[in-house]
Amino acid sequence: MGIVAGLDSAPDFTRIVVCDADTGAVLRQGYAPHPVEGPEGGGRPSDVDPQAWLLSLGEAAGGGLLEGVQAIGVSAQANAVVPLDHQGNTVRPAIVGGDKRSQVAAADLIDALGGREAWAQAVGCVPQAPQPVTKLRWLARTEPDAAARTAVLMQAHDWLVWQLLGRPARRTTDRGGASGTGYWSPATGGYRPDLVELALGHQAMLPEVIGPADAAGTTPEGLLISAGTGETMAAAFGLGIGLGDAVVSLGASGSVMAVHPEALVDQSGMITSLADATGMHLPVVTTLNAVRALRGTAELLGLPDLESLSDLAMKSTPGAHGLVLLPYLEGERTPNLPHTAGTLAGLRRESMKPEHLARASFEGMLCGLADALDVLRGRGVDVRRVFLLGAAAELPAVQAAAPALFGAQVVVPQPADYTAIGAARQAAWALGVSRGTLDPRTPPAWQGAVAKVLEPGEELAVGQAVRQQYVSVREQTHPGALRA
């Protein structure tokens, strides 16, 4: 069918992959950092001129990278708000990332609509600081002039698609991107303009939500641009996950998402109901503590890195001689215990050894993520296979314990640009549909991720006993915290 490209505009860089449209084989790739200066004292900026994304895109596509490409898909960082005036010019820099400035605004919005349950019913999630709806509330409160001039709202991937198409009158987005805004309902498939007004103080134009296999348009040069989507949805599409699959991401914090045929309304607010890039849904549960619990333990034990912590943990045995770590070092979101601290239980003379603490840190992290998996399972989400992502997924102590603690087959994909690959797969789908060679309900069947597959096997009973030991300590320390 030809060749297609996928673009991943991440917070710090742009990556482009060019793929065979039939198989998904990566033919060539480009990369460029964003030309953005960080704030004083380091860290990522919360305000970014979106032109930086275009400059980075142009650099990543240099050297004829896109020569012969027939369609391109765009994925971009989640939760970036680009406020535009009536002429389509930015009224201020884009507001990006997990912006802590808007934490008070999140609490304001929850109260303004009548509580967490009201938000869950309305849009499938409870406002949090990073979400676009919360950033609009912050904008209205702290920069009222900019808020008053805001006539059009776009997210990063919407804005990039619009720019690539030459800024047409029609502005588009997809279900995946829209589902993260806090003003679009995955359950109804429609916007809630009243929530935009609640946050911003007035109505604003919103992009048209087009279908997963639809094209946003064609450039004057004849390059087809697909719908685009958010980074989470593109990564899931690039991995090729489907019903029965969950993805556990091991960052400093953790997240668990799974494919489900319908939107979930979770009154507790633990589940964020997102849409995916195929027409299905991606319920997500996050934890505040994943790899940060490992790093904290390594520092406590005077170890130089996580590999050393893993080696030490492998000298212990499942259950860590009764040592249990509740890894709530930053408070916790699942369960909702924002002001709590971590707990180390089961201290006995024989368990007070470095290797047992190392083992308990891995088991505590994975059991915390298993709690998040159980939140989804408790709502009828089928989980038969768990994809484990992040650098920590390569650690032997993680791979040894995860299948039995999760009670499922664990798949550890080789590192690859899955977000960009997912965007390219979407481009191939839109191209095939436009030519009549692909069904708009069935995405192209690309080769799956190369991966290591781990089975619970004979360790399942031992793992479930360790899990029960963890649950008992959690229930004794925080009774009923995980009940919806």
Which phi and psi angles does 274 have, rounded to 5°? -105, 160
Segment 330-343 shows an average pLDDT of 94
Whether the pLDDT of residue 200 is over 50: the answer is: yes
Helix (H, G, I), strand (E, B) or coil at 403: helix
Segment 137-142 shows an average pLDDT of 96
Segment 399-422 shows an average pLDDT of 97
Segment 282-307 shows an average pLDDT of 97
pLDDT tens digits along 366-388: 999 999 999 999 999 999 999 99
Whether the pLDDT of residue 20 is over 80: the answer is: yes
The predicted pLDDT at position 267 comes to 80
Q: Which residue has the higher pLDDT, 411 or 265?
A: 411
User: What are the residues whose beta carbons fall under 8 Å from the beta carbon of 14, sequence distance 6 or more?
Assistant: 7, 8, 31, 32, 34, 53, 56, 57, 59, 60
- SS3 track for 278-317: CCCEEEEEEECCCHHHHHHHHHHCCCCCHHHHHHHHCCCC
Segment 254-271 shows an average pLDDT of 92
Whether the pLDDT of residue 484 is over 60: the answer is: no
The predicted pLDDT at position 429 comes to 98
**Model confidence band, residue 483 (pLDDT cutoffs 50, 70, 90):** confident
| Cα–Cα distance, 411 to 420 (Å, whole number) | 20
| Cα–Cα distance, 323 to 274 (Å, whole number) | 36
Segment 171-191 shows an average pLDDT of 97
Whether the pLDDT of residue 38 is over 60: the answer is: no
**Model confidence band, residue 310 (pLDDT cutoffs 50, 70, 90):** very high
Whether the pLDDT of residue 197 is over 90: the answer is: yes
Q: Are 235 and 418 in contact (CB under 8 A)?
A: yes
Q: Which two tokens stand for residue 81?
A: 């708000």
Q: Which residue has the higher pLDDT, 145 or 98?
A: 145
Q: Are 444 and 438 in contact (CB under 8 A)?
A: yes
Torsion of CA 113, 331, 178, 284, to 10 degrees: -120
User: What are the residues whose beta carbons fall under 8 Å from the beta carbon of 10, sequence distance 6 or more?
Assistant: 76, 77, 231, 419
- pTM recorded for the entire structure: 0.93
Segment 187-199 shows an average pLDDT of 97
pLDDT tens digits along 99-123: 678 889 999 999 999 999 999 999 9
Helix, strand, coil percentages for the chain (3-state, nearest 5): 40, 25, 40
Segment 350-369 shows an average pLDDT of 98
Q: Are 81 and 177 in contact (CB under 8 A)?
A: no
DSSP letters of 261-278? SS----TTS-EEEEE-SS
The predicted pLDDT at position 113 comes to 97
Give the E-state strand segments of 109-253 in sequence order.
Answer: 152-155, 172-174, 184-185, 190-191, 208-210, 215-218, 224-226, 229-230, 244-250
The predicted pLDDT at position 437 comes to 96
pLDDT tens digits along 128-139: 888 999 999 999
The predicted pLDDT at position 41 comes to 44
The predicted pLDDT at position 43 comes to 52
| Cα–Cα distance, 131 to 153 (Å, whole number) | 13
Mean pLDDT across the chain, nearest whole number? 95
**Model confidence band, residue 37 (pLDDT cutoffs 50, 70, 90):** low
The predicted pLDDT at position 36 comes to 64
pLDDT tens digits along 74-88: 999 999 999 999 999
Tell me which H or E stretch contains 16. Answer: strand 13-20
Helix (H, G, I), strand (E, B) or coil at 227: coil
Q: Which residue has the higher pLDDT, 265 or 111?
A: 111
Segment 137-165 shows an average pLDDT of 97
- The 8-class DSSP code of residue 101 comes to G
Whether the pLDDT of residue 42 is over 50: the answer is: no
| Cα–Cα distance, 109 to 128 (Å, whole number) | 9
Segment 52-74 shows an average pLDDT of 97
The predicted pLDDT at position 44 comes to 59
**445-to-97, 201, 218, 292, 320 alpha-carbon distances in Å:** 33, 45, 24, 37, 43
Number of Cβ within a 10 Å radius of residue 174: 29
Phi-psi region of 302 (alpha: psi -120 to 50; beta: other; left: phi over 0): left
**Model confidence band, residue 265 (pLDDT cutoffs 50, 70, 90):** confident
Segment 430-443 shows an average pLDDT of 97
**Model confidence band, residue 273 (pLDDT cutoffs 50, 70, 90):** very high
Whether the pLDDT of residue 178 is over 70: the answer is: yes
Separation of CA 356 from chain center: 32
